[in-house]
Structure 1
């Protein structure tokens, strides 16, 4: 009744996103379905948060035709679904890094070896491993992603210790970044089993090995995976992600306001070192090298079952129908020695993490490193001049053996 209400300018909102990284992330996915999140693991700033495939939001302003909306809504790659925040997936073998921390915190020795003959017998069934790893310690189990090692160690730990560690890394929770619709996913434990399955409330020992390799009931988002990688990389703070950097010129809280990450720093350092071996001699040795001199990326690959393989439903790799294939993950950080940026990449039904997710993580991380002036100067630093070494014949050009 009072007529039109005049518009009032709102406060300026500054986001943390880097447009170059955001566009490069979309470019890397092409027509593939998935998500990528890249964070500054010092401040918690989200520099890229990609959900692919994308769509032109301006088309909604003018109004979509029924046919246009139907095409978007019914496309099996789900462009209208935010896969970074709303979609949840099993984390697969990326979860093994957190199980390793849980084991170290519980007093297990990293030097303890477990024999992997390519399988593990338990509960009247044979659990497979992707390779014969032989006598394997924790470092090598992470580098080569040995299922047998983590089947065994998770059974010794039990679900509650694993779940507590995973939650302390940020899994199973939503974050206040100003965007609604986040899913918390699921980090199961014995209390969850009692709530969700009143007819069978007991957590059975046979449910733990799947949990230990990031399968079973476990579900996470790409944002949570990046937060976990950032906390692992930072090693001191329980970082929370920040998408809105300031409102009206007033900065939002950054990492300085985050609580301490209450883990033994030596345990985190050991796992980070093993993650460095993933990209040098482990599962991502061929696809995780960023080619920037002594600046290298560390991480963990993951191949997560979307379906159980029994009855021919699930497809391991990319040999079958797209919607039945495994999901591909890579989580990590760089540089390995002085972490600045953390990343999580999911390729929905992409097959193997090393083949589908690691190369995309590598290329997006490479751009982030090259855009950092301090790191770029390190990358472009000229090689040291040759050292003159004298021998009985006089000075010659050379260097240390």
Structure 2
């Protein structure tokens, strides 16, 4: 008995229109429900929740794909390839366009009509269009942004923070280059758009390689930091993103994997068409900003250290202008190792002497630090600080 010819109502019925040899490897994974319901069934139950008071949730690990022996295998005949192509054009393209929009549909239409040797200039998208907006609001973008901000907190609170202190002015937002705060701005580890029922998951997925070269996940711009005094012992830092992402990827399947479950209904014939030379890579580039989010940190003693370090650097600059280069160098280098209280006293005394034109006393600072104050600075105890002041100033 022949199969009824009315419009198929779901993918299971559509598969029955295919030759048995092509249908069999796909059919076992396919639930008999309308495509819209299949998409809905794959969506996560709830979005990722971010804990702004602690560490962000870990980036998800890539799951091993289910194997399909037909994936990436060229079709044995032109007729078989044409049948698969007809199935994808009549079922896949309308479904993917309905699910993800016209821009995504055009990319897949191009994939099915391109041939090896066609241009590999990327199709470029940005916020304001369907694809750019989808990447900007994706859960993975939010999660990676959280990780970058927490990495920024760790960097700004780690030893050597003084190198970045010049960016901070209490009460004002300062932009710190993101490359100074994180490792690997040219390839953000873990930015894997793994959810196949989102536009980023449909087009980009993880980091691989295509005919146009390797996929990339890049970040550039700044982390904005606000420094505010909470009290005499604590500084509050507020971090927010002022950076943008660039995703460079290729819509292709070879090399690649079949995905899992319902994905294989389409990924297997798509990969086989590509292997048969009847479909070809579509490089894409997506530029989008980080989501508007913030995290905060409390830093004990940072207010004093930040303020007095700036004072000592200013004193050193004044000393240098007066020709006291040795004093300028030593005050700048040694002051960084002092405790906050000591640094305040030494910085204030040096500034007082310089403002009074007492160049000889400023030079005495340099001499004493060089000759006798080393042990006191290294130990940085209150007793040593008192000894240092008495030794320098009597």
Asked if TM exceeds 0.5, the reply is no
- Rg larger for: 2
- Larger helix percent: 2
| Shorter-chain TM-score tier | under 0.3
The TM-score with structure 1 as length reference comes to 0.19
